[in-house]
């Protein structure tokens, strides 16, 4: 299976910041890397936003060697865990970029020169990437992603988003996650569309890529799109784009509506996980609904289950845990058969741990994580996302995160952490009570200066109140 698809005839296949490579030059450099690492059991890549990262990852694909992207901001404990757990034998990085002590032997990607392209030697079932989870419930787990899964996932997205070699993809997302690396680099290479990586996802950089590079397809996380909305000039520069895509976290409804008003584009939302890649999405040629992530991609099945395993009706309101079965699902957790068995059944159904509601027409709405976003209060099941969207619709509120906290009578109470100016906690409680059922209003609102977020802009709810 060829993970690198045909490309249109352009001078630049990949641009990162002010540096660029043609497709031929990229493949020559990657071929040299492939020759250097051939036979290794796994290689780590110091995944900075750089051409060296792209060359290293493509080199691993050409060599058929599993690639382990290492976040460049990893602390010593996380770094040592990922390198030790994965068994990476080499570290690929630009000369002088990696400063970790010990570990695998360093291969300076930018000093290897170029060579003719070598053939892809791995079969479809071979592991292409070992991606590590965020580790919010323990040490990060290595997720085994096969070449077949990546190809299936990218082809399904290309169909849903009408993504072709005629597009120019623009994003500035980290290159060690599914969003920035699998979709944002391998997706561009498989579809043949040129990639413009802005190093950082700044609104002015996105606007410049639209004006100067012909950007037509833009990827961002909700934080990026919120910042674009706060910069109307940059937002209006995206009016000539074909598609704006949001993922990695729920896009607040007010941001969806403001982005649509400024750019003329109703953004496409999609849903996925490290273990599943992208499985649900709105379509380029179809409806796009605020607060919803769309329909299953081709080849994807979904279902909802209650806590006792019973089926949950698809009425658009009743929440249940989301299960998915699809050709882009991972092969298991590296060296963790028990964890694999707990989440991935023998018949292929994967337990996502996310709470969702599915409408009669098949549209999916993600409520949140079962562990943090499903609040059980006074016999009611309350989705944190619905309360967050209500808070965000207040003009004084910039950010909001809702969790359940212990309550002697209710079991759990709805507790909100809000970044806002010129409004009191009581006013926000009353504001939500006017828009949602009374039992969904926050019992407590904490006004804070900021919310804790990870590298992808997701709020880390386990750190709220810390």
Report the alpha-carbon distance of residue 43 to residue 68 in Å, rounded.
6
The CATH number assigned to the domain holding 302 equals 3.40.50.12780
Q: Enumerate residues 6+ apart whose C-beta is below 8 A from 341.
A: none
* Residue 102 belongs to a domain: yes
Claim to verify: residue 141 and residue 56 sit in the same structural domain: yes
Q: Are residues 354 and 441 in the same domain?
A: no
CATH code of the domain in which 407 resides:
3.30.300.30
Last residue of a domain, one of 310, 333, 364: 364
Count of H-run helices and E-run strands, the chain? 12, 24
Residue 430 counted as domain residue: yes
Residues 42 and 138 placed together within one structural domain of the fold = yes
Look at residues 364, 381, 397 and tell me which one is the last residue of a structural domain: 364
pLDDT digits (tens, 9 = 90+) for 335-379: 999 999 999 999 999 999 999 999 999 999 998 777 777 787 876
My answer on whether 87 and 32 are in the same domain is: yes
In a domain, 120, yes or no: yes
In a domain? residue 1: no
Pair 177, 131: CB distance under 8 Å: yes
> Do residues 321 and 354 make contact, with C-beta atoms less than 8 angstroms apart?
yes
Into how many domains does the chain fold?
2
Quote the pTM value: 0.84
What percent of the chain is helix, strand and coil (3-state, nearest 5)?
30, 25, 40
Residue 356's DSSP bridge partners are 320, 366
Task: Say yes or no: 324 and 383 in one domain.
Answer: no
Tell me the C-alpha distance between 293 and 296, whole Å.
Answer: 9
Regarding whether 450 and 331 lie in a shared domain, the answer is no
Query: What is the C-alpha to C-alpha distance for residues 57 and 236, in angstroms, rounded to an integer?
Result: 34
Let me know the angle formed at the C-alpha of 354 by 353 and 358, rounded to the nearest 5 degrees: 135
Q: Domain check: are 124 and 151 in the same one? A: yes
Please tell me whether residues 149 and 290 are part of one structural domain.
yes
Please tell me the distance from the alpha carbon of residue 88 to that of residue 86, in angstroms, as a whole number.
Answer: 5
Last residue within a domain, chosen from 340, 364, 388: 364
Residue 3 lies in a domain: no
- Structural domain range at position 446: 372-463
Q: Is the dihedral of CA 425, 428, 434, 435 positive or negative?
A: negative
The residue to which tokens 């509601």 are assigned:
357
Question: Does any domain span residue 186?
Answer: yes
- Whole-Å CA distances, 118 to 28, 61, 108, 383: 9, 10, 20, 51
Are 67 and 132 contained in the same domain? yes
Which ranges constitute the DSSP H helices of 284-345?
A: 337-343
Q: Is residue 9 part of a domain?
A: no
Spatial neighbors of 363 by CB under 8 A, at least 6 apart, are 289, 292, 294, 295, 316
- E strands in 135-254: 142-146, 169-171, 195-197, 217-220, 243-246
Residues 333 and 380 in one domain: no
Give yes or no for a contact between 296 and 362, defined as CB atoms under 8 angstroms apart: yes
Contacts of 337 (CB under 8 A, 6+ apart): none
What distance in Å separates the CA atoms of residue 49 and residue 219, rounded to the nearest whole number? 15
364-369 vs 350-358, strand pairing mode: antiparallel
pLDDT the model gives residue 348: 93
CB atoms within 10 A of CB 157: 24
Same domain, 432 and 357: no
The separation between the first and the last C-alpha atoms of the chain, rounded to the nearest angstrom, is: 48
Res 116: pLDDT: 64
- Name residue, tokens 């944190």: 384
Residues 386, 356 share a domain: no
Q: Tell me the CB-side half-sphere exposure of residue 6, using CA atoms within 13 A.
A: 5
pLDDT at position 117: 56
Q: How far apart are CA 133 and CA 411, in angstroms?
A: 30
152 touches 3 (CB < 8 A)? no
| Residues whose CB falls within 8 Å of the CB of residue 88, separated by 6 or more in sequence, listed in order | 42, 43, 44, 68, 82, 103, 104
How far apart (Å, rounded) are the C-alpha atoms in residues 56 and 198?
19
Note whether residue 155 is domain-resident: yes
Return the SS3 of 339.
Answer: helix
pLDDT in tens, 35-73: 999 999 999 999 999 999 999 999 999 999 999 999 888
pLDDT values of the chain reduced to their tens digit, one per residue, 466 residues: 566 777 666 678 999 999 999 999 999 999 999 999 999 999 999 999 999 999 999 999 999 999 999 988 887 878 898 999 999 999 999 988 888 777 899 999 999 877 665 555 678 899 999 999 865 556 789 999 999 999 999 999 999 999 999 999 999 999 999 999 999 999 999 999 999 999 999 999 999 999 999 999 999 988 899 899 999 999 999 999 999 999 988 888 889 999 999 999 999 999 999 999 999 999 999 999 999 999 999 999 999 999 888 999 999 988 899 999 999 999 999 999 999 999 999 999 999 999 999 999 999 999 877 777 778 787 677 878 888 888 999 999 999 999 989 887 788 899 999 999 999 999 999 999 888 877 889 999 999 999 998 766 778 888 887 6
């Amino acid at each position: 299976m060829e993970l690198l698809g045909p490309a249109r005839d352009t001078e630049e296949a990949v641009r990162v910041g002010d540096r660029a490579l043609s497709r031929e030059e990229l493949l020559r450099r990657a071929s040299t890397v492939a020759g250097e690492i051939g036979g290794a059991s796994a290689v780590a890549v110091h995944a900075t936003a750089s051409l060296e990262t792209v060359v290293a990852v493509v080199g691993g694909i050409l060599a058929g060697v599993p690639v382990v992207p290492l976040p460049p901001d990893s602390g010593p404990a996380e770094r040592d865990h990922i390198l030790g757990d994965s068994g990476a034998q080499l570290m690929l990085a630009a000369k002088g970029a990696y400063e970790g002590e010990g570990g695998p032997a360093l291969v300076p990607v930018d000093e290897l020169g170029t060579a003719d392209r070598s053939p892809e030697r791995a079969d479809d079932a071979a592991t292409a990437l070992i991606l590590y989870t965020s580790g919010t419930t323990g040490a990060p787990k290595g997720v085994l992603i096969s070449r077949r899964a990546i190809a299936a996932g990218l082809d399904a997205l290309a169909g849903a988003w009408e993504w072709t070699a005629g597009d120019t993809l623009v994003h500035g997302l980290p290159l060690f996650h599914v969003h920035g690396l699998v979709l944002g680099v391998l997706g561009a290479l498989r579809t043949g569309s040129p990639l413009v990586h802005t190093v950082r996802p700044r609104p002015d950089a996105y606007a410049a890529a639209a004006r100067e590079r012909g950007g037509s397809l833009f990827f961002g996380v909700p934080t990026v799109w919120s910042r674009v909305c706060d910069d109307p000039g940059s937002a209006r520069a995206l009016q000539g784009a074909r598609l704006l895509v949001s993922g990695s976290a729920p896009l607040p409804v007010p941001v969806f509506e403001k982005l649509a008003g400024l750019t003329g584009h109703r953004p496409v939302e999609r849903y996925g996980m490290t273990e599943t890649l992208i499985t649900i999405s709105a379509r380029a040629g179809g409806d796009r609904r605020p607060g919803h992530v769309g329909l299953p991609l081709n080849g994807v099945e979904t279902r909802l289950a209650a806590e006792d395993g019973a089926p949950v009706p698809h009425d658009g309101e009743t929440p249940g845990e989301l299960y998915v079965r699809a050709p882009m699902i991972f092969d298991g957790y590296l060296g963790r058969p028990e964890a694999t068995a707990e989440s991935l059944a023998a018949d292929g159904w994967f337990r996502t741990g996310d709470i969702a509601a599915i409408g009669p027409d098949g549209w999916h709405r993600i409520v949140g994580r079962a562990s943090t976003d499903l609040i059980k209060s006074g016999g009611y099941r309350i989705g944190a996302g619905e309360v967050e969207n209500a808070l965000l619709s207040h003009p004084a509120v910039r950010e909001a995160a809702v969790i359940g906290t212990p309550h002697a009578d209710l079991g759990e109470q709805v507790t909100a952490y809000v970044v806002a100016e010129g409004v009191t906690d009581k006013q926000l409680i009353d504001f939500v009570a006017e828009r949602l059922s009374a039992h969904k209003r926050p019992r407590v609102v904490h006004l804070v200066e900021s919310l804790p977020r990870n590298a992808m802009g997701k709020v880390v709810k386990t750190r709220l109140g810390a």
